[in-house]
A and B are shown apart, each in its own frame.
Chain A
Amino acid sequence: MTVVKPKRAKERRRLKPGEVVVMAVLSVLVLAVSFPVLYALLNSFRGYADITKDPMGLPTSLDFGNYVTLFKTTEYGEALLNTAIITAGTLAILLALVPMAAYGIERVGGRTGRWIYLLFIAGLMIPFQVRMIPLVTSMNEIGLYSTLTSVMLVHFGGSAAFGVLLYCSFIKGVPREIEEAANMDGAGRLRTFWSIVFPMLLPVTSAFVIIQALGLWNDFFIPLVFLDASSAGTINVALSRMSGLMASQWELIYTGAIVATVPSVLLFAAFQRYFIKGMSIGAVKG
Chain B
Amino acid sequence: MTDQQVLVKALPAEPPPAARPAPGRRRARFDRQRTAMLLFIAPAAILYALMMIVPSLQSIQFSLTDWDGISDTFQYVGLRNYEDILTSGRFWNAVRNTLILGLGSAVVVNAIALGVAMMLDKLDHAQGFFRTIVYLPALVSGFIAATIWKYVLNYNFGAVNSTLKALGLDAQTRDWLGDHDIVLWVLLFIICFTLGGNTTLIYLANLQSVPQELVEAARIDGASRAQVFRYVTWPMLAGAVTVNMTLMMIAGWTIFDQIMVLTMGGPGFISETMAFFIYKVGFGEYRAGYGSAAAVVLFIVVMATTMIANRYMRSREIQA
Contact = CB atoms under 8 A, between A and B. Distances in A.
A and B touching (C-beta < 8 Å)? Answer: yes
Interface of A: 1, 3-10, 12-13, 15-16, 18-19, 22-23, 25-27, 29-30, 33-34, 36-37, 39-40, 52, 54-56, 93, 97-98, 100-101, 103-110, 113, 116, 119-120, 122-135, 138, 153-154, 156-158, 160-161, 164, 172-173, 175-176, 189, 193, 203, 211, 214, 217-221, 236, 239-240, 243, 250, 253-254, 257, 260-261, 264-265, 268, 272, 276-277, 279-286
Interface string B249-272: 010011011000100000000000
Interface residues of B, number: 113
Majority DSSP secondary structure for residues of A touching B: helix
A221 B257 CA distance: 7
B303 A283 contact: no
Contacts of A130: 55-56, 59, 278, 292, 295-296, 298-299
Interface string B170-189: 00000000000000000000
A10 to B, nearest CB: 7
A19 B204 contact: no
A138 B253 CA distance: 26
Nearest to B197: A214
A280 B4 CA distance: 9
B226 interface: no
A87 B50 CA distance: 20
Nearest to A2: B211
B89 interface: no
B154 to A, nearest CB: 9
A55 B159 contact: yes
A23 B141 contact: no
Interface in B293-310: 295-296, 298-299, 302-303, 306
Interface in B8-64: 8-13, 15-19, 33-34, 36-41, 43-45, 47-48, 50-56, 58-59, 62
Contacts of A172: 15, 18
Q: Dominant SS at the B interface?
A: helix
Nearest to B119: A22
B315 interface: no
Contacts of A12: 124
A242 to B, nearest CB: 10
B126 interface: yes
Contacts of A173: 11-12, 15
Interface stretch (B78-86, B145-153, B227-235): B145-153
Given A26-B120, A129-B279, A221-B257, A104 B139 contact: no
A26 B196 CA distance: 13
Nearest to A122: B303
B286 interface: no
Given A22-B123, A218-B141, A156 B206 contact: no
A2 B106 CA distance: 35
A210 to B, nearest CB: 10
Across the A-B interface, the 9 shortest Cβ-Cβ residue pairs: A109-B19, A157-B51, A218-B141, A104-B40, A109-B18, A280-B205, A101-B44, A131-B55, A283-B202
Contact of B124 (A19, A98, A220): A19
Contacts, number: 323
A125 B302 contact: yes
Interface of B: 1-2, 4-5, 7-13, 15-19, 33-34, 36-41, 43-45, 47-48, 50-56, 58-59, 62, 69, 116, 119-120, 122-126, 130-137, 139-145, 147-149, 151-152, 157-159, 162-163, 166, 193-195, 198, 201-206, 208-209, 211-213, 239-240, 243, 250, 253-254, 256-257, 261, 274-275, 278-279, 282, 288, 291-292, 295-296, 298-299, 302-303, 306
Contact of A104 (B4, B37, B130): B37
Interface centre among A30, A97, A154, A283 (most CB of B within 10 A): A283
B159 A129 contact: no
B7 A36 contact: no
Contacts of A133: 55, 59, 62, 69, 282, 288, 291-292
Contact of B52 (A101, A106, A161, A285): A161
